[in-house]
Amino acid sequence: MSFLLGVVIFIVAILISVILHEAGHFLTAKYFGMKATQFFVGFGQTIWSFRRGETEYGLKALPFGAFVRITGMTTLDEVDPEDEPRSMRNKPAWQRAIVMVAGSFMHFALAFVLLLFLAIGIGQANDNTTVVGSVSPCVPRSLSAFDKGSCQNNLGSAPAKIAGIRQGDNIVAFDGKSVQNWAQLGTAIRDAPAGVRVPVTVMRNGHRLSFSAAPATVPGRKGSYLGIGDAVVFQRSNPVSAVAFAGSAFGEVLTGSVSAVSKLPAALPDLFAKDRAKTPAGNVSSMVGAADIAGQAVASGGGWEYSVSDLLLIVISINIFIGAFNLLPLLPLDGGHLAVIFYERIRAWLARLRGRPDPGLVDLQRLIPVSVGVFVLLIGLGVLLMAADIFNPVHLVQ
Protein backbone atom coordinates (compact mmCIF):
# COMPACT_ATOMS: atom_id res chain seq x y z
CA MET A 1 0.00 0.00 0.00
CA SER A 2 2.81 2.41 0.87
CA PHE A 3 4.48 1.60 -2.47
CA LEU A 4 1.30 2.53 -4.35
CA LEU A 5 1.02 5.73 -2.31
CA GLY A 6 4.53 6.74 -3.35
CA VAL A 7 3.74 6.09 -7.01
CA VAL A 8 0.49 8.11 -6.85
CA ILE A 9 2.21 11.04 -5.13
CA PHE A 10 4.95 10.98 -7.75
CA ILE A 11 2.46 10.96 -10.64
CA VAL A 12 0.51 13.87 -9.16
CA ALA A 13 3.72 15.82 -8.55
CA ILE A 14 4.90 15.34 -12.14
CA LEU A 15 1.47 16.31 -13.52
CA ILE A 16 1.61 19.51 -11.44
CA SER A 17 5.13 20.14 -12.81
CA VAL A 18 3.89 19.83 -16.40
CA ILE A 19 0.95 22.13 -15.69
CA LEU A 20 3.35 24.71 -14.27
CA HIS A 21 5.55 24.33 -17.37
CA GLU A 22 2.61 25.20 -19.62
CA ALA A 23 1.53 27.94 -17.23
CA GLY A 24 4.96 29.52 -17.76
CA HIS A 25 4.35 29.69 -21.51
CA PHE A 26 0.75 30.82 -21.01
CA LEU A 27 1.35 33.61 -18.50
CA THR A 28 4.29 35.17 -20.33
CA ALA A 29 2.41 34.99 -23.64
CA LYS A 30 -0.59 36.74 -22.09
CA TYR A 31 1.67 39.32 -20.48
CA PHE A 32 3.15 40.23 -23.87
CA GLY A 33 -0.30 40.50 -25.44
CA MET A 34 -0.19 37.27 -27.43
CA LYS A 35 -3.48 35.48 -28.00
CA ALA A 36 -3.78 32.18 -26.11
CA THR A 37 -6.93 30.29 -27.03
CA GLN A 38 -6.62 27.10 -24.95
CA PHE A 39 -5.12 25.84 -21.70
CA PHE A 40 -5.91 22.18 -21.06
CA VAL A 41 -4.74 19.50 -18.65
CA GLY A 42 -4.47 16.16 -20.43
CA PHE A 43 -5.01 15.08 -24.02
CA GLY A 44 -7.74 13.48 -26.08
CA GLN A 45 -11.48 13.97 -25.61
CA THR A 46 -12.60 17.02 -23.64
CA ILE A 47 -14.46 16.01 -20.48
CA TRP A 48 -14.91 19.46 -18.94
CA SER A 49 -14.11 23.02 -19.91
CA PHE A 50 -15.10 26.63 -19.45
CA ARG A 51 -14.28 29.85 -21.24
CA ARG A 52 -12.99 33.02 -19.67
CA GLY A 53 -12.36 35.83 -22.08
CA GLU A 54 -10.69 34.51 -25.22
CA THR A 55 -9.24 31.40 -23.54
CA GLU A 56 -10.84 28.00 -23.01
CA TYR A 57 -9.69 26.12 -19.91
CA GLY A 58 -10.44 22.48 -19.22
CA LEU A 59 -9.62 18.81 -18.68
CA LYS A 60 -9.03 16.11 -21.27
CA ALA A 61 -9.68 12.39 -20.89
CA LEU A 62 -6.01 11.31 -20.78
CA PRO A 63 -4.19 13.01 -17.87
CA PHE A 64 -0.71 12.55 -19.32
CA GLY A 65 0.34 16.18 -19.45
CA ALA A 66 -0.97 19.59 -20.40
CA PHE A 67 -0.82 22.04 -23.28
CA VAL A 68 -1.41 25.68 -24.13
CA ARG A 69 -2.35 26.89 -27.60
CA ILE A 70 -0.82 30.24 -28.50
CA THR A 71 -1.89 31.79 -31.80
CA GLY A 72 0.80 31.81 -34.49
CA MET A 73 3.64 30.15 -32.60
CA THR A 74 5.38 29.31 -35.90
CA THR A 75 5.15 30.08 -39.59
CA LEU A 76 3.31 26.76 -40.03
CA ASP A 77 0.24 27.94 -38.13
CA GLU A 78 -2.79 29.30 -39.95
CA VAL A 79 -3.92 32.57 -38.36
CA ASP A 80 -6.92 34.77 -39.08
CA PRO A 81 -5.79 38.14 -40.46
CA GLU A 82 -7.48 39.92 -37.55
CA ASP A 83 -5.43 37.89 -35.04
CA GLU A 84 -2.08 38.25 -36.81
CA PRO A 85 -1.01 41.38 -34.87
CA ARG A 86 -1.35 39.37 -31.63
CA SER A 87 0.25 36.19 -32.96
CA MET A 88 3.41 35.02 -31.29
CA ARG A 89 5.38 35.12 -34.53
CA ASN A 90 4.54 38.79 -34.94
CA LYS A 91 6.08 39.74 -31.56
CA PRO A 92 9.68 40.87 -30.96
CA ALA A 93 12.27 38.11 -30.77
CA TRP A 94 13.10 38.80 -27.12
CA GLN A 95 9.46 38.33 -26.13
CA ARG A 96 9.20 35.07 -28.06
CA ALA A 97 12.44 33.88 -26.44
CA ILE A 98 11.10 34.61 -22.96
CA VAL A 99 7.91 32.67 -23.69
CA MET A 100 9.99 29.69 -24.87
CA VAL A 101 12.28 29.78 -21.82
CA ALA A 102 9.41 30.24 -19.36
CA GLY A 103 8.50 26.53 -19.38
CA SER A 104 11.94 25.40 -18.23
CA PHE A 105 12.11 28.33 -15.82
CA MET A 106 9.03 27.02 -14.03
CA HIS A 107 10.70 23.61 -13.61
CA PHE A 108 13.81 25.26 -12.20
CA ALA A 109 11.80 27.56 -9.92
CA LEU A 110 9.73 24.65 -8.57
CA ALA A 111 12.87 22.63 -7.91
CA PHE A 112 14.51 25.54 -6.07
CA VAL A 113 11.40 26.17 -3.94
CA LEU A 114 11.19 22.47 -3.04
CA LEU A 115 14.87 22.50 -2.06
CA LEU A 116 14.19 25.47 0.22
CA PHE A 117 11.23 23.62 1.77
CA LEU A 118 13.39 20.53 2.22
CA ALA A 119 16.07 22.50 4.07
CA ILE A 120 13.73 24.60 6.22
CA GLY A 121 10.72 22.34 6.74
CA ILE A 122 12.29 18.88 6.97
CA GLY A 123 16.00 19.38 7.33
CA GLN A 124 19.16 17.92 5.90
CA ALA A 125 20.07 14.40 6.89
CA ASN A 126 23.12 14.32 9.13
CA ASP A 127 24.44 10.88 10.06
CA ASN A 128 27.62 12.17 11.69
CA THR A 129 26.25 12.79 15.18
CA THR A 130 26.56 10.90 18.45
CA VAL A 131 22.83 10.15 18.66
CA VAL A 132 22.07 6.46 19.20
CA GLY A 133 19.86 5.12 16.43
CA SER A 134 19.65 1.54 17.64
CA VAL A 135 20.69 -0.65 20.58
CA SER A 136 21.58 -4.26 19.83
CA PRO A 137 19.94 -6.86 22.06
CA CYS A 138 23.01 -9.10 22.09
CA VAL A 139 26.72 -9.69 21.60
CA PRO A 140 27.07 -11.63 18.30
CA ARG A 141 29.02 -14.85 18.60
CA SER A 142 31.12 -14.23 15.43
CA LEU A 143 32.15 -11.62 12.89
CA SER A 144 29.77 -13.19 10.39
CA ALA A 145 26.87 -12.92 12.85
CA PHE A 146 27.88 -9.30 13.53
CA ASP A 147 27.82 -8.44 9.82
CA LYS A 148 24.38 -10.06 9.46
CA GLY A 149 22.99 -8.51 12.65
CA SER A 150 22.20 -11.99 13.91
CA CYS A 151 21.61 -12.77 17.58
CA GLN A 152 21.32 -16.54 17.12
CA ASN A 153 23.42 -18.41 19.72
CA ASN A 154 24.69 -15.07 21.01
CA LEU A 155 27.21 -14.42 23.76
CA GLY A 156 24.80 -12.54 26.02
CA SER A 157 23.14 -9.14 26.17
CA ALA A 158 24.87 -6.15 24.59
CA PRO A 159 26.80 -3.90 27.02
CA ALA A 160 24.75 -0.84 25.98
CA LYS A 161 21.49 -2.66 26.73
CA ILE A 162 22.76 -3.81 30.13
CA ALA A 163 23.92 -0.28 30.96
CA GLY A 164 20.51 1.22 30.15
CA ILE A 165 21.46 3.23 27.06
CA ARG A 166 18.44 3.83 24.82
CA GLN A 167 17.66 4.74 21.26
CA GLY A 168 17.65 8.53 20.93
CA ASP A 169 20.30 9.11 23.62
CA ASN A 170 22.98 11.60 22.60
CA ILE A 171 26.33 10.35 23.87
CA VAL A 172 28.48 13.34 24.80
CA ALA A 173 31.33 11.58 26.58
CA PHE A 174 32.78 8.08 26.69
CA ASP A 175 35.36 6.85 29.21
CA GLY A 176 35.76 10.41 30.45
CA LYS A 177 36.51 11.87 27.01
CA SER A 178 34.20 14.24 25.12
CA VAL A 179 33.02 12.99 21.73
CA GLN A 180 31.72 15.26 18.96
CA ASN A 181 30.84 12.84 16.17
CA TRP A 182 30.27 9.16 15.46
CA ALA A 183 33.81 8.60 14.21
CA GLN A 184 35.27 9.80 17.52
CA LEU A 185 32.79 7.72 19.50
CA GLY A 186 33.50 4.60 17.44
CA THR A 187 37.24 4.96 17.96
CA ALA A 188 36.80 5.46 21.70
CA ILE A 189 34.63 2.34 21.98
CA ARG A 190 37.00 0.14 19.98
CA ASP A 191 40.00 1.34 22.01
CA ALA A 192 38.31 0.73 25.39
CA PRO A 193 39.46 -2.36 27.31
CA ALA A 194 36.95 -5.21 26.99
CA GLY A 195 35.33 -6.30 30.24
CA VAL A 196 36.32 -3.13 32.09
CA ARG A 197 33.54 -0.74 33.08
CA VAL A 198 33.84 2.78 31.71
CA PRO A 199 31.60 5.82 32.27
CA VAL A 200 29.22 6.86 29.49
CA THR A 201 27.55 10.27 29.61
CA VAL A 202 24.41 10.94 27.57
CA MET A 203 21.85 13.69 27.07
CA ARG A 204 18.30 12.35 27.27
CA ASN A 205 15.28 14.66 26.99
CA GLY A 206 17.40 17.59 28.08
CA HIS A 207 18.86 15.81 31.09
CA ARG A 208 22.47 14.75 31.53
CA LEU A 209 22.73 11.13 32.64
CA SER A 210 25.70 8.93 33.49
CA PHE A 211 25.96 5.18 32.92
CA SER A 212 28.58 2.51 33.38
CA ALA A 213 29.20 0.00 30.61
CA ALA A 214 31.67 -2.84 30.16
CA PRO A 215 32.47 -3.22 26.42
CA ALA A 216 32.49 -6.79 25.13
CA THR A 217 34.44 -8.63 22.44
CA VAL A 218 33.02 -10.11 19.24
CA PRO A 219 35.21 -13.05 18.14
CA GLY A 220 36.97 -12.19 14.90
CA ARG A 221 36.27 -8.46 15.16
CA LYS A 222 38.94 -5.94 16.10
CA GLY A 223 38.27 -3.67 19.05
CA SER A 224 35.65 -3.65 21.77
CA TYR A 225 31.91 -3.78 21.19
CA LEU A 226 29.20 -1.71 22.89
CA GLY A 227 26.17 -2.64 20.78
CA ILE A 228 24.91 0.68 19.44
CA GLY A 229 24.18 2.03 15.95
CA ASP A 230 24.18 5.62 14.78
CA ALA A 231 21.08 7.64 13.93
CA VAL A 232 20.41 9.99 11.06
CA VAL A 233 19.28 13.35 12.41
CA PHE A 234 17.40 15.81 10.21
CA GLN A 235 18.73 19.29 10.94
CA ARG A 236 16.65 22.21 9.74
CA SER A 237 18.31 25.26 8.24
CA ASN A 238 17.64 28.96 8.69
CA PRO A 239 16.54 30.87 5.55
CA VAL A 240 20.07 32.04 4.69
CA SER A 241 21.58 28.57 5.01
CA ALA A 242 18.61 27.13 3.13
CA VAL A 243 19.28 29.38 0.13
CA ALA A 244 22.94 28.32 0.12
CA PHE A 245 21.93 24.66 0.35
CA ALA A 246 19.33 25.01 -2.42
CA GLY A 247 21.83 26.69 -4.73
CA SER A 248 24.50 24.08 -4.09
CA ALA A 249 22.10 21.13 -4.42
CA PHE A 250 20.58 22.60 -7.60
CA GLY A 251 24.03 22.85 -9.17
CA GLU A 252 24.90 19.29 -8.19
CA VAL A 253 21.68 17.87 -9.64
CA LEU A 254 22.08 19.90 -12.84
CA THR A 255 25.66 18.69 -13.25
CA GLY A 256 24.55 15.13 -12.59
CA SER A 257 21.78 15.45 -15.19
CA VAL A 258 24.21 16.66 -17.83
CA SER A 259 26.55 13.80 -16.95
CA ALA A 260 23.73 11.24 -17.18
CA VAL A 261 22.73 12.48 -20.64
CA SER A 262 26.34 12.39 -21.85
CA LYS A 263 26.68 8.79 -20.64
CA LEU A 264 23.36 7.67 -22.10
CA PRO A 265 24.81 6.16 -25.33
CA ALA A 266 27.22 4.05 -23.27
CA ALA A 267 24.42 3.02 -20.90
CA LEU A 268 22.04 1.68 -23.54
CA PRO A 269 23.77 -1.73 -23.98
CA ASP A 270 23.43 -2.42 -20.22
CA LEU A 271 19.74 -1.56 -19.85
CA PHE A 272 18.79 -5.23 -19.78
CA ALA A 273 21.91 -6.52 -18.02
CA LYS A 274 21.45 -8.49 -14.79
CA ASP A 275 23.68 -6.07 -12.89
CA ARG A 276 22.12 -2.95 -14.42
CA ALA A 277 22.23 -1.08 -11.09
CA LYS A 278 26.03 -1.38 -11.04
CA THR A 279 26.45 -0.02 -14.58
CA PRO A 280 25.86 3.45 -16.08
CA ALA A 281 22.41 2.13 -17.09
CA GLY A 282 21.46 2.18 -13.42
CA ASN A 283 21.57 5.98 -13.49
CA VAL A 284 19.09 6.46 -16.33
CA SER A 285 15.39 5.68 -16.35
CA SER A 286 12.02 6.64 -17.74
CA MET A 287 9.10 8.08 -15.81
CA VAL A 288 8.05 4.48 -15.14
CA GLY A 289 11.37 3.81 -13.44
CA ALA A 290 11.23 7.07 -11.51
CA ALA A 291 7.72 6.22 -10.28
CA ASP A 292 8.95 2.77 -9.21
CA ILE A 293 11.83 4.31 -7.26
CA ALA A 294 9.41 6.77 -5.63
CA GLY A 295 7.25 3.84 -4.54
CA GLN A 296 10.27 2.02 -3.17
CA ALA A 297 11.35 5.14 -1.27
CA VAL A 298 8.03 5.29 0.59
CA ALA A 299 7.78 1.52 1.10
CA SER A 300 11.30 1.30 2.55
CA GLY A 301 10.12 2.99 5.75
CA GLY A 302 12.54 4.66 8.18
CA GLY A 303 10.22 7.46 9.24
CA TRP A 304 8.25 10.16 7.48
CA GLU A 305 11.31 12.39 7.16
CA TYR A 306 13.05 9.79 5.02
CA SER A 307 10.02 9.19 2.82
CA VAL A 308 9.20 12.87 2.25
CA SER A 309 12.85 13.79 1.77
CA ASP A 310 13.42 11.01 -0.77
CA LEU A 311 10.22 11.83 -2.67
CA LEU A 312 11.08 15.52 -2.81
CA LEU A 313 14.60 14.79 -4.06
CA ILE A 314 13.19 12.55 -6.81
CA VAL A 315 10.69 15.22 -7.92
CA ILE A 316 13.37 17.91 -7.70
CA SER A 317 15.79 15.88 -9.82
CA ILE A 318 13.13 15.14 -12.44
CA ASN A 319 12.19 18.82 -12.72
CA ILE A 320 15.77 19.99 -13.10
CA PHE A 321 16.44 17.30 -15.69
CA ILE A 322 13.29 18.11 -17.70
CA GLY A 323 13.99 21.84 -17.51
CA ALA A 324 17.54 21.40 -18.79
CA PHE A 325 16.70 18.75 -21.40
CA ASN A 326 13.89 20.89 -22.80
CA LEU A 327 16.41 23.65 -23.55
CA LEU A 328 18.49 21.48 -25.85
CA PRO A 329 18.62 23.16 -29.31
CA LEU A 330 16.57 20.44 -30.96
CA LEU A 331 13.14 20.75 -32.52
CA PRO A 332 10.43 20.14 -31.40
CA LEU A 333 11.81 20.98 -27.91
CA ASP A 334 11.49 24.54 -26.63
CA GLY A 335 15.24 24.85 -26.97
CA GLY A 336 14.90 24.13 -30.68
CA HIS A 337 12.41 26.98 -31.11
CA LEU A 338 14.74 29.18 -29.06
CA ALA A 339 17.63 28.28 -31.37
CA VAL A 340 15.50 29.24 -34.38
CA ILE A 341 14.80 32.64 -32.81
CA PHE A 342 18.52 33.22 -32.20
CA TYR A 343 19.29 32.16 -35.76
CA GLU A 344 16.71 34.63 -37.11
CA ARG A 345 18.26 37.49 -35.17
CA ILE A 346 21.81 36.60 -36.23
CA ARG A 347 20.65 36.36 -39.84
CA ALA A 348 18.91 39.74 -39.55
CA TRP A 349 22.06 41.29 -38.05
CA LEU A 350 24.22 39.97 -40.87
CA ALA A 351 21.69 41.28 -43.41
CA ARG A 352 21.88 44.76 -41.88
CA LEU A 353 25.67 44.69 -42.11
CA ARG A 354 25.30 44.01 -45.81
CA GLY A 355 22.66 46.70 -46.24
CA ARG A 356 19.95 44.15 -47.01
CA PRO A 357 16.42 43.86 -45.55
CA ASP A 358 15.59 41.54 -42.67
CA PRO A 359 14.96 38.05 -44.14
CA GLY A 360 12.19 37.58 -41.56
CA LEU A 361 11.05 34.38 -39.93
CA VAL A 362 12.58 30.99 -40.69
CA ASP A 363 10.41 28.75 -42.85
CA LEU A 364 9.91 25.80 -40.49
CA GLN A 365 8.50 23.75 -43.35
CA ARG A 366 12.08 22.95 -44.30
CA LEU A 367 12.86 21.78 -40.75
CA ILE A 368 9.93 19.37 -40.47
CA PRO A 369 12.04 16.32 -41.44
CA VAL A 370 14.58 17.20 -38.72
CA SER A 371 11.85 17.81 -36.17
CA VAL A 372 10.11 14.53 -37.01
CA GLY A 373 13.42 12.68 -36.84
CA VAL A 374 14.22 14.03 -33.38
CA PHE A 375 10.67 13.30 -32.20
CA VAL A 376 10.87 9.69 -33.40
CA LEU A 377 14.27 9.30 -31.76
CA LEU A 378 12.99 10.63 -28.42
CA ILE A 379 9.90 8.39 -28.56
CA GLY A 380 12.04 5.36 -29.38
CA LEU A 381 14.44 6.13 -26.55
CA GLY A 382 11.54 6.63 -24.15
CA VAL A 383 9.98 3.29 -25.12
CA LEU A 384 13.34 1.53 -24.68
CA LEU A 385 13.86 3.03 -21.23
CA MET A 386 10.31 2.13 -20.17
CA ALA A 387 10.80 -1.45 -21.33
CA ALA A 388 14.00 -1.68 -19.31
CA ASP A 389 12.30 -0.21 -16.24
CA ILE A 390 9.43 -2.70 -16.54
CA PHE A 391 11.39 -5.87 -17.28
CA ASN A 392 14.70 -5.03 -15.59
CA PRO A 393 13.98 -2.44 -12.87
CA VAL A 394 16.58 -0.89 -10.60
CA HIS A 395 15.99 -1.62 -6.90
CA LEU A 396 17.07 0.71 -4.12
CA VAL A 397 18.10 -2.22 -1.95
CA GLN A 398 20.24 -4.89 -3.60
Concatenating the DSSP letter of every residue in 321-384 gives HHHHHTTSS-TTSHHHHHHHHHHHHHHHHHHHHTT-----S--GGGGHHHHHHHHHHHHHHHHH
| Residue 15 CB coordination number (10 Å) | 16
User: In whole angstroms, what is the distance from residue 232 CA to residue 301 CA?
Assistant: 14
Contacts with 379 (C-beta within 8 Å, 6 or more apart), sequence order: none
Give the dihedral sign, CA 220/222/227/229.
negative
Helix (H) or strand (E) holding 112: helix 93-117
Which one of the listed residues 22, 54, 82, 84 is annotated catalytic? Answer: 22
User: In whole angstroms, what is the distance from residue 251 CA to residue 196 CA?
Assistant: 50
User: In whole angstroms, what is the distance from residue 162 CA to residue 156 CA?
Assistant: 10
β-partners of residue 177 are 174
Concatenating the DSSP letter of every residue in 145-186 gives HHHHT--TT-SSS-HHHHHT--TT-EEEEETTEE--SHHHHH
User: In whole angstroms, what is the distance from residue 294 CA to residue 281 CA?
Assistant: 18
Catalytic, 305? Answer: no
Residues forming the active site: 22
